[in-house]
C-alpha cells in the first residue's frame, strides 16, 4: 500500500457565504495544516453564481434588462470578494501556519465547480461544510457535500458547524 | 468563532475487511496524526455483524442450527481480530506517531455503530472509506459514508481508494 506523503500537499477548501464553510476552513487550518512543517498549498475556492451574459428570461418569464444583469454580476463579484477577504483573514489569524494560500473564484454550480477544480488541480484533499445550498434547493439537488464526496477522487472532509456554534435564531 | 484545538483529539477510524478502509487509516495517520506533537487518541472501530443469539429463520425460511450460528459467530470474531491486527500493524509502521491507539469492536450495522460510537465517545473526527458495503446492499441502503456524513455531528473524512491502488481484476 502506497504511503501518503504529508509534504507539498494541495488542499482545496470550498468557501461560501455561510458560517459553516468558514468553520470548515478554521477546522482544517487548526487540525490539518498547522505544525506539519510542510510546504502545503491551501486553495480557497468560491463558486460564483453564473453571470447572465445575455439578457434572459428567468423562471417566471420575466426578462432581465441589461442594467439588472450588470447589477447582479456586480453583486456576485462583491460577495465573492467579501468571502475571500474573510477566508484570508482566518488564515492569517492562525499562528505557525506555513502554507501558501491561493484564491480561486469560478463561475457555476458549486457541485460542478468543486469537482472540476479538484480534478484539474489534482488536489490531495477537499474540505467543505456539509451544507452550501438553501433548504429547498438541497431537497431537490441533494447536498453539495454528498455530491462531491461521491464524485471527487481524493479524500473529502465534510465539516458540520457544531450545534453550540449555530445561531440561536 | 471558536478555534479548534489540535491537542488531545479523539479520532475515530472505521475499519473493515476492505482495502479502502486501510487506505483511509493510512491517509489519516500520514496526513492528520503525524507530527502534530499532540496527545491524540486514535480509536479503531470495527462493526461486526450482529451474532444471531437465538436460532432463527433466515430470509429463505431456512432455520439455522445452533452449531451453524456458533460457527458464524466464531468466523465473525476471527474476521474482527484479523482486521484489527492489520490496522494495528499499519499504525506501527508510521514513524513519529505519538498517539494512543484503542480498538473497539461493536456488533451491529456499520451505519448505526459508527454514528453511535462517534456520539458516545464525543470524537473530534470520523475517518472512513467511501464504501463499506457490497454493491447490491449499497444500492438499497446507500453508502455507509453518506449516511454517517449526514448523521455524525463532528467532521467526517471520507477517503476513496485511488484508482491506481484499485485491484486490476
In order of their start, the domains of chain A are 10-50+81-165 (3.40.50.620)
pLDDT of residue A13: 97
Where does the pLDDT of residue B47 fall: very low under 50, low under 70, confident under 90, or very high at 90 and above?
very high
CB contact under 8 A, B36 and A35: yes
Closest approach of A71 to chain B, Cα-based (Å): 32
**What Rg, from alpha-carbon coordinates, does chain B have?**
17
**What Rg, from alpha-carbon coordinates, does chain A have?**
17
Say yes or no: B48 contacts chain A, CB-CB below 8 A.
no
- Chain B residues close to A155, C-beta within 8 Å: 24, 27, 157-160
Closest partner CB to B158 (pick from A31, A32, A155): A155
CB contact under 8 A, B6 and A145: no
Q: Which residue has the higher pLDDT, A71 or B55?
A: A71
Say yes or no: A21 contacts chain B, CB-CB below 8 A.
no
- Chain A residues close to B1, C-beta within 8 Å: 19, 22-23, 26, 90, 165
pLDDT of residue B37: 58
Instruction: Find where cell 477577504 sits.
Output: A85
CB contact under 8 A, A130 and B149: yes
- Chain A residues close to B24, C-beta within 8 Å: 155
Strands lying side by side in the sheet with A156-159? A100-107, A41-48, A10-14, A125-129, A156-159, B156-159, B125-129, B10-14, B41-48, B100-107
Say yes or no: B116 contacts chain A, CB-CB below 8 A.
no
pLDDT of residue B61: 58
Say yes or no: A23 contacts chain B, CB-CB below 8 A.
yes
Residue B35 has pLDDT above 70, yes or no: no
Interface confidence, given as ipTM, is 0.82
Q: A13: closest CA among A101, A93, A112?
A: A101
* pLDDT, tens digit (0-9, with 9 covering 90-100), for A15-58: 999 899 999 999 999 898 876 656 899 999 999 987 655 555 55
Q: B16: closest CA among B127, B125, B93?
A: B127
pLDDT of residue A136: 65
Q: A45: closest CA among A70, A61, A25?
A: A25
**Helices A19-28, A66-93: inter-axial angle, 10-degree rounding:** 30
pLDDT of residue B132: 60
Say yes or no: A150 contacts chain B, CB-CB below 8 A.
yes
Look over chain B and give the mean of its residue pLDDT values, rounded to a whole number.
82
Closest partner CB to B160 (pick from A37, A153, A158): A153
**Residues 6 or more apart from B106 whose CB is under 8 A from it?**
B45, B46, B47, B48, B113, B116, B117
**Residues 6 or more apart from B158 whose CB is under 8 A from it?**
A149, A155, A156, A157, A158, B24, B128, B129, B130, B145, B149
* pLDDT, tens digit (0-9, with 9 covering 90-100), for B68-108: 878 888 998 999 999 999 999 999 988 767 789 999 999 99
Q: B33: closest CA among B93, B85, B78, B106?
A: B93
pLDDT of residue A6: 47
Residues in chain A where the model's pLDDT stays below 70:
1-7, 35-38, 51-64, 96, 132-142, 163-169
CB contact under 8 A, A165 and B2: yes
Work out the angle at residue A24's Cα, subtended by the Cα atoms of residues A20 and A28, and round it to the nearest 5 degrees: 170
Residue B22 has pLDDT above 50, yes or no: yes
Nine-digit cell string for A158: 465534510
Say yes or no: A146 contacts chain B, CB-CB below 8 A.
yes
Q: What is the DSSP letter of A166?
A: S
- Chain B residues close to A31, C-beta within 8 Å: 4, 6, 9, 32, 124-125
- Chain A residues close to B89, C-beta within 8 Å: none
Q: How far apart (Å, rounded) are the C-alpha atoms in residues B21 and B127?
A: 9
Q: How many CB pairs under 8 A join A and B?
A: 102
Amino acid at each position: 500500500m502506497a504511503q501518503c506523503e504529508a509534504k507539498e500537499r494541495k488542499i482545496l477548501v470550498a468557501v461560501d457565504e455561510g458560517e459553516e464553510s468558514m468553520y470548515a476552513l478554521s477546522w482544517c487550518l487548526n487540525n490539518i495544516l498547522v505544525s506539519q512543517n510542510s510546504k502545503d498549498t491551501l486553495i480557497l475556492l468560491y463558486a460564483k453564481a453564473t453571470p447572465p451574459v445575455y439578457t434572459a428570461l428567468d423562471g417566471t418569464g420575466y426578462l432581465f434588462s441589461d442594467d439588472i444583469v450588470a447589477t447582479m454580476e456586480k453583486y456576485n463579484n462583491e460577495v465573492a470578494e467579501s468571502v475571500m477577504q474573510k477566508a484570508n483573514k482566518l488564515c492569517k489569524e492562525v499562528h505557525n501556519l506555513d502554507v501558501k494560500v491561493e484564491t480561486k473564484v469560478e463561475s457555476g454550480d458549486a457541485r460542478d465547480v468543486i469537482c472540476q477544480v479538484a480534478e484539474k488541480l489534482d488536489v490531495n484533499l477537499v474540505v467543505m461544510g456539509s451544507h452550501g445550498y438553501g433548504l429547498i434547493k438541497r431537497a431537490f439537488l441533494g447536498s453539495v457535500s454528498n455530491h462531491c464526496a461521491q464524485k471527487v477522487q481524493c479524500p473529502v472532509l465534510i465539516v458540520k458547524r457544531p450545534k453550540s456554534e449555530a445561531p440561536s435564531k
